Amino acid sequence: MEPELARIPTASFLGEGSGNPVRAADLMAGEVIVDLGSGAGVDVFLAAHRVGPTGRAIGVDMTPEMVERARRAADEAGVANVEFRSGIIEKLPVSDGVADVVVSNCVINLSPDKAAVFREAFRVLKPGGRLVISDIVQERPLGRIDDDCRCVTNAIVRSEYLATIRDAGFEDVTVMEERPWRVGHAGVDASSVTIRAIKPREVNS
């Protein structure tokens, strides 16, 4: 087990992520983090540890069992700077401009409206805020394939994914890490990528 996982509740770790957006986000003490599709809370707890007692980490998930499990883990571990909210990432239950960082781990690929997800991430970020996400992208259009988690079937191709982030208003969209996720007959079908993007300090309305 990675040392940082040993510091958070074991019940929060489902092993369903595709990367480590919290590590890539360079979080600082006092920052406010929002995690899109927080599941049992692993990245929320990791972020909460890094931002410390003056910061806060908020997870949003649409599955009531996940939200309940994450809240229970927080209560049992006595972690005070986390919060888990029920909701969808296409319409976040989060006010405008409250987050320093929005993270997400292997969730946006599942959304049928990725443009709405990135618009919502942009809305809840402060000016200058960072979007740091790990996700799956297709390396060529694949159609429906045999894919247990549906995370490759529902993913879109890399160029379209990056363009959707830019269209939401983000700048400096950068692929920080990548590795093959699914290798088929023609080579790499899909990749796990960690992407960082910035909300400009001045937004033209």
Ligand X SMILES: C[S@@+](CC[C@H](N)C(=O)[O-])C[C@H]1O[C@@H](n2cnc3c(N)ncnc32)[C@H](O)[C@@H]1O
Q: Rounded distance, CA 145 to CA 18, Å?
A: 19
CB of 200 to ligand X, least distance (A): 26
Q: Rounded distance, CA 102 to CA 71, Å?
A: 20
Residue 148 phi, psi (nearest 5): -50, -50
- Residue 11 interacts with ligand X (CB under 6 A)? no
Q: Which two tokens stand for residue 128?
A: 């200058």
- Residue 66 interacts with ligand X (CB under 6 A)? yes
Choose, by CB under 6 A, the member of 8, 22, 27, 42 that binds ligand X: 42
- Residue 107 interacts with ligand X (CB under 6 A)? yes
- Residue 88 interacts with ligand X (CB under 6 A)? yes
Task: Return the DSSP state at 18.
Answer: S
- The answer for residues whose C-beta is within 8 angstroms of residue 42's C-beta and 6 or more apart is 5, 8, 12, 13, 14, 17, 105
- Residue 194 interacts with ligand X (CB under 6 A)? no
Q: Rounded distance, CA 15 to CA 181, Å?
A: 15
Choose, by CB under 6 A, the member of 26, 28, 30, 63 that binds ligand X: 63
Q: Which amino acid is at 43?
A: D
Closer Cβ to ligand X, 176 or 200, answer by number: 176
- Residue 14 interacts with ligand X (CB under 6 A)? yes
CB of 185 to ligand X, least distance (A): 26
Could you tell me how many residues of this chain bind ligand X (CB under 6 A)? 20
Helices marked H in 17-113 — which ranges?
21-24, 42-51, 64-77
- Residue 111 interacts with ligand X (CB under 6 A)? yes
**Count of beta carbons in the 10 Å neighbourhood of residue 201:** 10
| Span of 49-57, 60-68, 159-167, 182-190 interacting with ligand X by CB under 6 A | 60-68
- Residue 102 interacts with ligand X (CB under 6 A)? no
CB of 104 to ligand X, least distance (A): 7
Closer Cβ to ligand X, 10 or 128, answer by number: 10
**Count of beta carbons in the 10 Å neighbourhood of residue 203:** 9
**Which residues of the chain form contacts with ligand X (CB under 6 A)?**
14, 16-17, 37-39, 42-43, 61-63, 66, 88-90, 105-107, 110-111
